[in-house]
Structure 1
Amino acid sequence: MSDTWEIFAIRYADRIDRWRKDSFIMDDDHASKHPMDFFIWIIKNETRTILVDTGYDKDEAKRRNRPIMDNPVSLLADFGIPAETIDDVVVTHMHYDHAGSLADFRHAKLYVQPSELEYVTGPCMCHDLLRFPFSEDHICEVIRSLYLGNVEFCDGSREIAPGVEVHLIGGHTRGQQCVRVRTRRGWVVLASDSSHYYENYRSGKPFPIVVDMEETLAGYDILRRLADSDQHIIPGHDPLTRKWYPAIPGGNGEIVMLHADTTE
């Protein structure tokens, strides 16, 4: 089995009604628009496919008044990967935009940090501010998978497959994890929300939603240690990703190849 993988970022939603103050702490420019893209990620080689995060569906979009282009499950099927063919799902953290649609993957193994499950089912969720980014339906789906025997706890760092690793970072949530992937251009790190934008980790300006600021800042150093360079770190929500990486041939520009060389 090959330990070299391809990575595809699939955009399923965006938000253009945002400002820089929504994205950065300690930023002097609060008057400029700052859009956000929403992605799920596919890691695949000739024998195996791993899904990183599951996005959120149209029901959740309606509840939160945050429209999406299409359900992530439908976009995966359009890409030639039906949900029922995916056996492994890495849940980087359980915020609504990363752990929705889990009911469609109840058959799959979910790779999560035990600290994340403890966080979302513990006393921190008594606080409205910390609870808001989560959906109780999504958390219940993780519990259902746990009782079905389909949750794999990573507890720090763990190899999911040769050339695919997860690493606990924390900060954004207690169990925020990143995914390190060996590609033809070297070790690429899917930061997910340990850095929402390139500017977060490159300028040391954290995203405002954090549970632990010290862990968030230390996480930027972890990303750099794991990746071959700054050009090998992929943040969770930056529209620049679709500008700097090539789209799949014949696509509509919503799916880009992160194993390809960047044009940055």
Structure 2
Amino acid sequence: MSSWEIHAIKYADRNARVRGDSFVFDDNHDAPHPMDYFMWLLRRGEEVILVDTGYDDAEAAARARPIRLDPVVALAPLGVRPDQITKVIVTHLHYDHAGGLRLFPNATLHMQAAEMAYATGPCMCHDTLRMPFTADHVCEAVTRLFSGQVVFHDGDGQVAEGVTVHRIGGHSRGLQAVRVRTESGWMVLASDAAHFYENLFARKPFPIVVDVQDMLDGFDRLLGLASRPELIIPGHDPLVCKLFAPGVADHIRRLDPGPTGKVPR
């Protein structure tokens, strides 16, 4: 059974943040703490799977959170056109992970049933829980559902040989991590089950959370899914760009060979 390549594609960053934005109960809450934004491309021969879609210029303007690269432009160095993408794993429906769904019209979406129920249910009556979602992105997922372009998973599921998804919850009700067989072993794209290495290894919850117990239990689940702890890839940590070798462009890192530096634990 052959292994998959994994490419981390950085399309945005946000430097005007502090540690209080990233960790609950942090003693140094007002110290600077920047965040990177990624999509991930899985490739094995002619097979490609996109994990999350980033967000576009319109969403960047609406939220006053500029992006460095439109998701389509960010993918271009990998030789992938949006119309070639037929599978997108949506880790969850927050704006920075599902904001580019419309850019990939031929894609079938793989997501947790719990996430669709959450994003279209009574929890969205609360401003705090609704804040990370954008209605147009959720409506795009619903439109795909009615066109037969959604595959729902309930807990654990297989997207392709060597690629599985696993509901973690916590940050969003149907948040899922992605487990991928690589040359280094089973690598886990944590997405927002662990925004930063420190969330995971210091057991510090991220402040945007719907269920703290699910988030904390999820840290152990991530460790159980990966062959080794250093093969867990956090969803927003700038250290990813320092610990993994450059890819085919400055904003891309090649993950599947494993880290080139020491992962902080």
- 1:250-261 matches, within 5 Å, as 251-252=249-250, 254-261=251-258
SS, match of residue 96 in structure 2: coil
Q: Distance in 1 between matches of 2:42 and 2:77?
A: 16
Q: Distance in 1 between matches of 2:170 and 2:233?
A: 17
1:81 aligns with 2:73: no
Q: Which residue of 2 aligns with 1:208?
A: 207
The CA RMSD measured in Å over matched residues stands at 0.9
Letter in 2 for 1:94: L
Q: Distance in 1 between matches of 2:257 and 2:201?
A: 21
Letter in 1 for 2:258: D
Q: Which residue of 2 aligns with 1:63?
A: 62
SS, match of residue 178 in structure 2: strand
Q: Distance in 2 between matches of 1:9 and 1:83?
A: 17
Q: Contact 1:3 / 1:162 at 8 angstroms: preserved in 2? A: no
Q: Contact 2:93 / 2:138 at 8 angstroms: preserved in 1? A: yes
| 1:64-107 C-alpha deviation (Å, 9 max, x unpaired) | 00000121122112321101001100000000000011112232
| 1:114-148 C-alpha deviation (Å, 9 max, x unpaired) | 00000010000000000010000000100110010
Q: Distance in 1 between matches of 2:138 and 2:235?
A: 20
- Aligned positions, number: 261
Q: Distance in 1 between matches of 2:208 and 2:30?
A: 19
Q: CA deviation at 1:31?
A: 2.7
TM-score by length of 2: 0.97
Q: Distance in 1 between matches of 2:195 and 2:258?
A: 21
Letter in 2 for 1:257: R
Letter in 2 for 1:33: P
Q: CA deviation at 1:187?
A: 0.4
Q: Which residue of 1 aligns with 2:95?
A: 96
Q: What's the % identity of the aligned pairs?
A: 52
- 1:72-221 matches, within 5 Å, as 72-221=71-220
Q: Which residue of 2 aligns with 1:31?
A: 30
Q: Distance in 2 between matches of 1:30 and 1:197?
A: 15
SS, match of residue 145 in structure 1: helix
Letter in 1 for 2:116: L
Q: Contact 2:83 / 2:105 at 8 angstroms: preserved in 1? A: no
Q: Contact 2:52 / 2:91 at 8 angstroms: preserved in 1? A: yes
Q: CA deviation at 1:222?
A: 0.3
Q: Distance in 1 between matches of 2:246 and 2:65?
A: 25
Q: Distance in 2 between matches of 1:104 and 1:98?
A: 13
Deviates more, 1:99-108 or 1:181-190: 99-108
Q: Contact 2:84 / 2:106 at 8 angstroms: preserved in 1? A: no
Q: Which residue of 2 aligns with 1:52?
A: 51
Q: Distance in 1 between matches of 2:131 and 2:54?
A: 16
Q: Which residue of 2 aligns with 1:21?
A: 20
Q: Contact 1:112 / 1:151 at 8 angstroms: preserved in 2? A: yes
Q: Which residue of 2 aligns with 1:223?
A: 222
Letter in 2 for 1:117: M
Q: Contact 2:167 / 2:174 at 8 angstroms: preserved in 1? A: yes
SS, match of residue 97 in structure 1: helix
User: Following superposition, which runs of at least 4 residues in structure 1 exceed 3 angstroms of deviation?
Assistant: none
